[in-house]
Amino acid sequence: MREPHFWTVTDKRTRAAAPMTKALLTPVSILYRWAGARRIANAQPFDCGLPVICIGNLTLGGAGKTPVTDVVRRHFTARGIRAASLSRGYRGSLGGAHRVDPARHAAGEVGDEPLMLSMSGESWISKDRPEGARAMKADGVQLIVMDDGHQNPTLKKSLSIVVIDASNPFGNGHIFPKGPLRERVVDGLSRAQGVVLMGEGEMPEQLARFAGDILRAKLEPLAQLAAGRYIAFAGIGRPSRFFDSLQTQPGVELSEGVPYPDHHAFQPSDLSFLMKLATERDAKLVTTDKDYVRLPASMKDKVVRASVVAKFEDEAALARLLGRVSV
């Protein structure tokens, strides 16, 4: 979905924007909050017998969860532990629990983020998280890193880390659909042991009483783009953040940034439009890892992939936080 403008306080329009729309959405937000809180309170989380580290967030849209999941998985893999990510496989057609194979699976089957994670490590999907955890344990996985799922109470977690976009932490402060929050900030933080503030921005005042660890990180390019003119396109939570990041790279001229809704399934008409635009502007096409895996094979050699990695300011602090988990 594409975020409504009144979800963010960084928009030129203020938190008070669209008052009638938000008033109409208030009862739905109350119901959404009540249902989520009730589900969490009444759940009996399944203990799969493996350590489970959940990388989640408090808002809808991208905050950097998947790159953090990759870093955490690499941390344990480097120590000889068979660590694998577990995702729900959003918009994927496959049911049941599956280990994602990038040579065999497509984004339409397993979801874009699990497919992206499978290219740098072991990745599994299961809409039923306990079913996925059981399958992973039976296959010999030693530690599960759950990509998203902070509001999913079905699987017992050993450690919960919340990723927050430092430039726009909680949007307009309202719960979906009145705002981008999945739950009240205080409720979400109460179940977390760590917070990752992603990108530039002041410390949110809501973290003043947070008792867990607060880490700073940012997304950095895995490799610099070659100098030249580019047409960027992205179907992620905040495409503008991707477009802005490209313009900080030396020699890169961004001719156009084309936004699409998060997890957008690219249609032939989309790709024709982008190719035509690139030809007219004498520019190369560039997109994110997440969007790249959703492209048809025939298009991938025509698009530059701008890969990013999460870099922590204090890697020792991250190691200490993860060190609380016994494997």
Q: Quick one: CATH architecture of 52-219+311-322?
A: 3-Layer(aba) Sandwich (3.40)
Residue 61 has pLDDT above 90, yes or no: no
> For the chain, which residues make up each domain, given as ranges?
52-219+311-322, 223-306
In this predicted structure, the answer to whether residue 16 has a pLDDT above a threshold of 70 is no
Q: Is the dihedral of CA 208, 212, 213, 215 positive or negative?
A: negative
- Segment of 7-16, 18-27, 204-213 carrying the highest mean pLDDT: 204-213
Q: What is the pLDDT of residues 194-216, one digit of tens each?
A: 999 999 999 999 999 999 999 99
Q: Which residues pair with 52 in a beta bridge?
A: 144
| pLDDT of residue 11 exceeding 60 | no
pLDDT number for residue 112? 95
For range 113-128, the mean pLDDT: 97
pLDDT band at 237 (very low <50, low <70, confident <90, very high): confident
Query: Which pTM value belongs to this model?
Result: 0.92
Tokens of 260: 């699409």
Residues 209, 52: Cα–Cα separation, whole Å: 25
- Which residues contact residue 203 at a Cβ distance below 8 angstroms, ignoring those fewer than 6 apart? 197, 214
Task: Write b or e for each residue in 138-175: b if 16 or more Cβ atoms lie within 10 A of its Cβ, otherwise e.
Answer: eeebebbbbbbbbbbbebbbbbbbbbbbbbbbbbbbbb
Number of residues in the chain: 327
Omega before residue 177 within 30° of 0, cis: yes
Specify the higher pLDDT residue, 69 or 60: 69
